[in-house]
Amino acid sequence: MKWPANRITNTSKKSFGMFEKALAIEAAGHDLIHLEFGKPHHDTPQHIKDGAIAALQAGKVHYSDLRGEPALRAALAAKLAADNAIHVGPEGILVTNGLTHAAYLAFMAALDEGDEVILLDPYYPQHINKIELAGGVPVIAPLDRAHGFAIRADWIEHKITARTRMIVLVNPSNPTGRVYTRAELEAVAELAIQHDLLVLTDEVYEHVLYDGAHISIASLPGMAERTLSLFAFTKAYAMDGWRLGYIAAQPAMIPAMLKIAMNDVTHVNTFIQYGALAAVTAEQDSRDAMVADDRRKRDFVVQRMNQMPGVTCASPEATIYAFANIEGTGKDSTSIALDLLEKAHVVVEDGSFYGVGGRGHIRICFGSEPMPRIEQAMDRLSTYFNALPNAGDKA
């Protein structure tokens, strides 16, 4: 008997990074501070819970529109027009089980066997398996690490071949915390138009923004018809366990993805969509308060990390991550991440988890814990880095 299929055995192994390694140590009774997992520590705001509860009590418990509840898609269309300058209407929106599901639908609908998909390194590693399961081939193009992980269109163009089908953006960027400028996005758009490519853009951190301005590439001239824009409620509304996201695309592109979704999940849970509706249509005070809290933690973490020997840490413009450079310690990022887990009992992610471009860095999720735990984590990290050989060499 053959088991499993080649699409499983012949594709990259699924990795859960440092989270997986931390399980055994935590099971042994150690107090670990988890700064590796991109999970908001905030609770979902009450008005969002109330929206789902009211829908449940009102009998919204049966099959719904396969594309998503009409009221939610109408509200999302209004949000996209106002916040993202994306004008697709409700017919250009597909509600999904989180952004992860949205990406899976997009890759499955867009890619044929052997199609190449360009990822920018450091990249979000969860896209790799989805591309491969769809029959695609991930191709890695580096970001300009020396200039703040900026996009270099010429470096991307070197990776384009006759088999290239798509470029993937994560904007704001996980893990680097960059918010790409209009000029960077225009350069990508020019490549996509010139080479007739699709662009898939993951914009889950669009509202977790501290500096700069977030621009959706689909809003640029000539890009609406070739962009699959992915969004979710996960980060900005602390709704990671709700599993709610959506795709915005030209209406003609939606049926192909809907065909995958119908055979995959039928449709998203009906009554929780009304929690999403409450999130989108209410005043955004609770969202803004959560982002303000994350900003305070960002500033604190960046300040503390830059005081540690061998460490430099740029201030992220968005997201809930700091991407600290530890090359000054003389140790590689994998060793540092394992040491911090085993000796300091702080779980951070090894930068190499995000590709070659992430080596020499550790990703610290300051959004995953309340401030007292962040302070405790920084004390533990400071003790570790100050105990390293040559620690006194840093002025």
Residue 201 has pLDDT above 90, yes or no: yes
156 plus 70 within the same structural domain: yes
Cross-sheet strand order for the sheet of 312-313: 312-313, 321-325, 361-365, 349-350
> For residue 116, is pLDDT > 90?
yes
pLDDT at position 29: 81
Q: Are residues 32 and 97 in the same domain?
A: no
Here the CATH number for the domain that contains residue 226 is: 3.40.640.10
| Residue 253 forms part of a structural domain | yes
Q: Indicate the residue among 231, 266, 281 that finishes a domain.
A: 281
**What whole-number percentage of the chain has pLDDT above 70?**
98
- Asked whether the predicted pLDDT for residue 157 surpasses 70, the reply is yes
- Are residues 373 and 351 part of one domain? yes
Average pLDDT over residues 193-211: 98
Residues 220 and 198 occupy one common structural domain: yes
pLDDT of residue 392: 59
* Judgement on whether residues 122 and 237 belong to the same structural domain of the protein: yes
CATH of the domain at 348: 3.90.1150.10
Inter-helix orientation angle 46-57/272-281, to 10°? 140
Per-residue model confidence (pLDDT) at position 174: 97
Domain finish residue from 281, 314, 341: 281
Q: Would you state the pLDDT for residue 393?
A: 59
Question: Does the bond joining 255 to the residue before it have cis omega, within 30 degrees of 0?
Answer: no
pLDDT at residue 395 in the model: 40
One-letter amino acid of 19: F
Q: If DSSP states are collapsed to H, E and C, what string results for the chain?
A: CCCCCHHHHCCCCCCCHHHHHHHHHHHCCCCCEECCCCCCCCCCCHHHHHHHHHHHHCCCCCCCCCCCCHHHHHHHHHHHHHHHCCCCCHHHEEEECHHHHHHHHHHHHHCCCCCEEEEEECCCCHHHHHHHHCCCEEEEEECEHHHCCECCHHHHHCCCCCCEEEEEEECCCCCCCCCCCHHHHHHHHHHHHHCCCEEEEECCCCCCECCCCCCCHHHCCCCHHHEEEEEECCCCCCCHHHCCEEEECCHHHHHHHHHHHHHHCCCCCCCHHHHHHHHHHCCCHHHHHHHHHHHHHHHHHHHHHHCCCCCEECCCCECCEEEEECHHHCCCHHHHHHHHHHHHCEECEEHHHHCHHHCCEEEEECCCCCHHHHHHHHHHHHHHHHCCCCHHHCC
Render pLDDT for 53-111 as a digit per residue (tens, 0 to 9): 999 999 999 999 999 999 999 999 999 999 999 999 999 999 999 999 999 999 999 99
Mean pLDDT of 204-230: 97
Whether pLDDT at 40 is above 70? yes
Which residues are bridge partners to 116 per DSSP?
Answer: 137, 164
Among candidate residues 266, 281, 296, the one where a domain is terminated: 281
Yes or no: say if 199 and 163 are a contact pair by the CB < 8 Å rule: no
Give the total number of structural domains in the chain. 2
Domain that holds residue 322: 6-43+285-387
**Per-residue pLDDT reduced to its tens digit, 238-276:** 999 999 999 999 999 999 999 999 999 999 999 999 999
Q: What share of the chain in percent tops pLDDT 90?
A: 91
Is residue 153 scored above 60 in pLDDT? yes
What confidence tier does 25 reach under pLDDT thresholds 50, 70, 90?
confident
CA distances from 115 to 2, 101, 388 (A): 27, 20, 46
pLDDT higher than threshold 60 for residue 394: no
Estimate to the nearest angstrom the gap between the alpha carbon of 7 and the chain centroid.
Answer: 24
Same domain flag for 215 and 256: yes
Tokens standing for residue 118: 């360009």
CB within 8 Å of 258: residues ≥ 6 apart: 66, 67, 94
> Could you tell me if 131 and 231 lie in one domain?
yes
Q: 193 and 66 share a domain? A: yes
The least confident of 35-39, 103-107, 382-386 is 35-39
Per-residue confidence band for 205, with pLDDT thresholds at 50, 70 and 90? very high
- Read off the pLDDT of each residue in 343-370 and give the average, rounded to a whole number: 96
Residue 261 counted as domain residue:
yes
Same domain? For 59 and 173 the reply is: yes
Same-domain status, 315 and 342: yes
For residues 118-126, average pLDDT:
96
Q: Is the pLDDT of residue 2 over 90?
A: no
Tokens of 372: 């007292």
Q: Say which range, 5-19, 28-42, 310-324, 366-380, has the weakest mean pLDDT.
A: 5-19
pLDDT band at 21 (very low <50, low <70, confident <90, very high): confident
